[in-house]
Structure formats: structure tokens, C-alpha cells
Amino acid sequence: MKAMHLTSPRVIESSPLQLTEAIIPTPDEDEILLRVSSCGICHTDLHVIEGELPPRKLPIIPGHQVTGMVEKIGSRVKNFSIGDRVGIAWLHWACGDCEYCKHGRENLCSHAKFTGYDVDGGYTEYMAVPAGFAYSISKRFTDEEAAPLLCAGIIGYRALRLSEVKPGQRLGLFGFGASAHIAIQVVKYWGCEVFVFSRSVHHRKLAEQLGAVWTGTADEVPPLLLHSAIMFAPAGELVPKALRVLDKGGTLALAGIHMTPIPSFDYSLIYHERTIRSVANSTRQDGIDFLKLAAEIPIRTEVEIFPLTEANRALQLLKSGQIRGAGVLSVKYYDTSS
């Protein structure tokens, strides 16, 4: 099979991913073999590729928003059959046994393994994954439309839950990429007013089209204070700016896995019981709940599609904020029968 491999972390401008030939994995008894159709690109992939996250496995095939078809199943797999369409997300596996797993917080599992980081991900033609960590995908979505739901969507949904925004309230979104363009559709469905902060004119325009009541840069101040806010941009310097527009008792949720340092700020910005919290990974229940909601709304993902072999270029565009909505790699099928 063809795959885009990373052998050593480097800046994306140097095109570190290489197209290589790899052996199709054999699923073990609890796994399914997936023929990959598409894989979304994510800022976390950039953090892995550029080494901002310490490497856990090298070489590695990145990618953790995967859709495809089940091609083989292990002897103990009961929840999927050959030919089923499935989605794979960031959480590859959790132990089920630790204090976190036992209390519904498998996203914090100390032994968790992550797709495209601890194990090979979806920038490839085939993947073997634990059947218990794969999701069914609604017929409402094409493979390309569904891919961004699997991280951008699920993490955005968990961030919304952790931001404690209630129906009808005012929510701020800082950064308007793949995750935010999905999250805004969820909160609009909940009847919230959404305020979007982005330095990109194109991203602000998309936000307005998707129903933001106000858009501006992080240096601007909207006319009303916000009940909750979510930081999608991995830029620590925006945290005090977000606190400045948060009402008393409000919550700021930080959705990224990596962020530049947060500058010190005056206590008054967080006084009056404002809360800052990070969002780490997601549970399978988040995934199930979100995918159900996404089909019910239904969420419309704006996708920009690239061939698998153009993963470097797609990620360069992601880094420079030039992707509208979500970037998705489409996997062209090669003849692997020989």
C-alpha cells in the first residue's frame, strides 16, 4: 500500500512527508482492517510533523480523521461487518481499567494510544484499528464530508460542552478553522449568538455566512460581554484577550493540544469566578453523541479536497490559514493485488 510517512520531525515548509510503499497491516482478533477513503488534516498533525509534540513513534503515518470501508474483521469483532462504512478518530485505544477510564474519562487515560501519533494513522490506503474504537458514519455524509467530523467536529463538540455555553447565550470563538466552522453550526442549532474572532478576512467571511452575529479580530471588542468562549487558535497570547471579553462567571475553554506560552495577565481578568480550562482528547461517548447530532442538524462541512500525495502542500496551506473550512486528503486507490 502507498502511505505518506514521516521519518523525522521537520517544518512543513520542507515537505517532510514522503510517499512510500508499506505492507498492508493484518488485523488482530479485536481489530478491523479499513480501506481508507479519506482523511482530514488537523493542526495536531502539524504539531506531530513539526515536532511540537514529542515523537512517540518514528517513522509514523499521520492522520486521525479517517473514513473508509471495512475490508477484513478479526475473529472476535461483533460490532462491524465487511463492507460497513466507518470513521476513525484520535483516540485509538484506552485501557478501560485505570481510574480515568472507570469513571467515564477515557480521554484522560494514562495508557491511551492516539491515531497517527502512537500508531499509524490515515494518510494511507489501509489501517488496522480496534473495532471498539471505530464509529458508524451516517448515510447523510459523503466520506469527504464526514472526515472532518471525526476530530474537528468531536473536539469542537467536547469544547462546547466544557465551555458550559447554554442555549440562547453568547459564545465567542477564537480562530475559525475546521473545528469552529462545525461548532458554530451546533451552537446556532442550540439558539446561541456566536461572536467570531479571526485575523483572516476569508475566515471571518465564512463565519458570517454561517450565521455569526459579530466578527472581528482578537484586538477588537464586541458590543456585549460573552458567557463562554472557545480558543481554537494555538496562540497563548490570545488568552488574556479572550478573558477581556468574557462576562463574570464565564468559562474559556482551550481546545488545542498545543499552545504557545500564555503571557502573564492581571488578576482582574480572571476574577469574578471566570474559569479557564483545557480540552484534552475526547471519549467515545463524545464521538457517538456528536455524530448523532451532526446527522440530525445536519452539519454541512466545507471541505477542500487534496490527493493523498499532496499532504505536504495541504498542511502548508493549513499552517498559513489558507484553507476554507476543513482540508481533506482523498485516497486514490492503487492496484494492490499484485
- Residue of 42, 210, 229, 233 interacting with Zn ion (CB under 5 A): 42
Query: Residue 44, interface with Zn ion (CB under 5 A)?
Result: yes
- Closer residue to Zn ion (CB): 91 or 252: 91
Query: Residue 229, interface with Zn ion (CB under 5 A)?
Result: no
* Binding region for Zn ion (CB under 5 A) out of 6-14, 101-109, 267-275, 324-332: 101-109
* Binding region for Zn ion (CB under 5 A) out of 37-45, 113-121, 276-284, 294-302: 37-45
* Binding region for Zn ion (CB under 5 A) out of 54-62, 98-106, 137-145, 299-307: 98-106
Q: 298: cis peptide before it, omega within 30°?
A: yes
Note every long-range contact of 94-101, with CB atoms under 8 Å and residues 24 or more positions apart, other chains counting: 94/133
Helices (H), 133-234: 143-146, 152-163, 178-189, 201-209
Tell me how far, at minimum, the Cβ of 179 lies from Zn ion, in Å.
8
Residues of span 130-169 touching Zn ion by CB under 5 A = 151
Tell me how far, at minimum, the Cβ of 100 lies from Zn ion, in Å.
5
Q: What are phi and psi of 272, to 5 degrees?
A: 65, 40
- Closer residue to Zn ion (CB): 151 or 253: 151
- Residue of 69, 95, 213, 225 interacting with Zn ion (CB under 5 A): 95
The span from the CA of 215 to the CA of 200, in Å, is: 11
Task: Return the residue matching grid coordinates 466520506.
Answer: 143
Residues of span 108-127 touching Zn ion by CB under 5 A = 109
- Closer residue to Zn ion (CB): 185 or 215: 185
Q: What residues pair up with 36 in beta bridges, in sequence order? A: 68
Q: Are 240 and 151 in contact (CB under 8 A)?
A: no
Q: Are 40 and 177 in contact (CB under 8 A)?
A: no
Q: How many CA atoms lie within 13 A of 184 on its CB side?
A: 31
- Residues in contact with Zn ion by CB under 5 A are 42, 44, 94-95, 98, 101, 109, 151
